[in-house]
Structure 1
């Protein structure tokens, strides 16, 4: 993905993969994300949405904004080179640092955390819940007020996070057995006010019925010329207390082809010829 905010000369930057097609799922594999996604005893798994595509778009958006500010201050345009591969590498965050600084190879941990226990999804009687007891205080509160096991925080095998990591399997088995005795919402109610991070694993229906989603009006209705009223996820950003407006509905296939070609310098006659040839 390349763009410019003026007319600078394009820098020469050779890349052995510069002619390769960019597909999110391929880059997830090549740039390390798929290697760390999934359960430890299962094959690598892709992320549920095109996370690398989305991240690259956001990186590019930020780069364009910075370049426009630079042009305003210096009068010179900027050539921006933003690609899927490097965006995904940047998104590896602490996993990349662990390897580059400490030489620590990454692995898959499912929903669990490699160095904090308990910090993962647990099955309940009718669903799943994410629990993140990130320190000894939270662990003690979790054991005492949720599990009814005040003995666990003082057990030498679980008294510190280091020990809980060492004895991960035994502790996770104890927690799972207890949480499996009640429904998810029963546990969620018990978690209120005790200071232990937690949350349900929601499906789409639960997600859009979530009290936060309802209170924040996270969906909007857009009138589409062919489909009629279409419900969509609203833009995530607010400006001065107001959500960014949606001015246009999603385009139909090839709706803006001629506008794009015109921006690229094609005349109306050339575009019409391309259409007659079936090229567009």
Structure 2
């Protein structure tokens, strides 16, 4: 839509370049600002699978790692090659995906205890070598400092009451066009303008006082 409007106004087209990373950052805008400049991020609501296990985030020594098992073959590989706990494969509590899901609290602790012996990067390397689906789980602060976003110049500054604040540029927007980032309005800044558009006028202090006096006399 932005490219069409740009063409209509200038007669020039835009190259559409949409990154999956930048699209996900756009979706994370609300929780991302909780973690602005190192503040605490809102608690995660869960990313584990409802019926397949282990599938979801697990703790390493310095962060979290996502992994997902799809079958019994991968469960065996995880036990032998990644956790280096071959006895776990035949443990009666974890004999199939249904049992693993039912006993996920115990299994989660076992996996985390093992993963915490390594950094998140080291755990990812082990999972990669074993051929198990994985990803390092970024924190909100990791997103603010993501090298790919910085390399693609996906951040700009927007003016607020508290000064200039870093913000992400909408995904898909051409780098040849400067993003229009108007100052963030203060609370109530445009109240009078909005009321006038609806044919209403903001009451003056004297009007409010007069109405209050009438109510009291009644």
TM-score for the superposition, normalised by structure 1: 0.46
Partner of 1:118: 54
Work out which structure has the larger RCO, using CA pairs closer than 8 Å and 6 or more positions apart in sequence: 2
Of stretches 239-248 and 181-190 in structure 1, the one that deviates more from structure 2 is: 239-248
Counterpart CA distance in 1 for 2:72 and 2:175 is 39
Deviations 1:123-170 (A, max 9, x none): 323333333324434434433432123554465653431232244344
2:135 matched to 1:198? yes
Aligned residues: 166
Distance between the aligned counterparts of 1:243 and 1:199, measured in 2?
Answer: 33
The answer on whether the counterparts of 2:53 and 2:101 sit within 8 Å (CA) in structure 1 is yes
Q: d(CA) in 1 for partners of 2:85 and 2:176?
A: 47
Aligned residue runs from structure 1 range 135-214, under 5 A: 135-153=71-89, 157-192=93-128, 194-202=131-139, 204-214=140-150
Q: Is 1:259 matched with 2:193?
A: yes
Where structure 2 has 5 or more consecutive residues not aligned to the other structure, the ranges are: 1-29, 32-44, 210-218
Report the alpha carbon displacement of residue 253 of structure 1 after superposing the two structures with TM: 2.7
* Structure 1 gaps, min length 5: 1-48, 51-108
> Rg larger in 1 or in 2?
2
Relative to its length, the structure with more helix (as a share) is 2
CA distance in 2, matches of 1:183, 1:155: 27
In 2, Cα distance between equivalents of 1:244 and 1:119: 41
Measure the CA separation in 2 of the matches of 1:137 and 1:231.
46
Say if 1:258 and 1:245 are closer, same or farther in 2 by CA, change over 3 A: same
Which residue of structure 2 aligns with residue 231 of structure 1? 166
Aligned to 1:230, the other structure's residue is in SS state strand
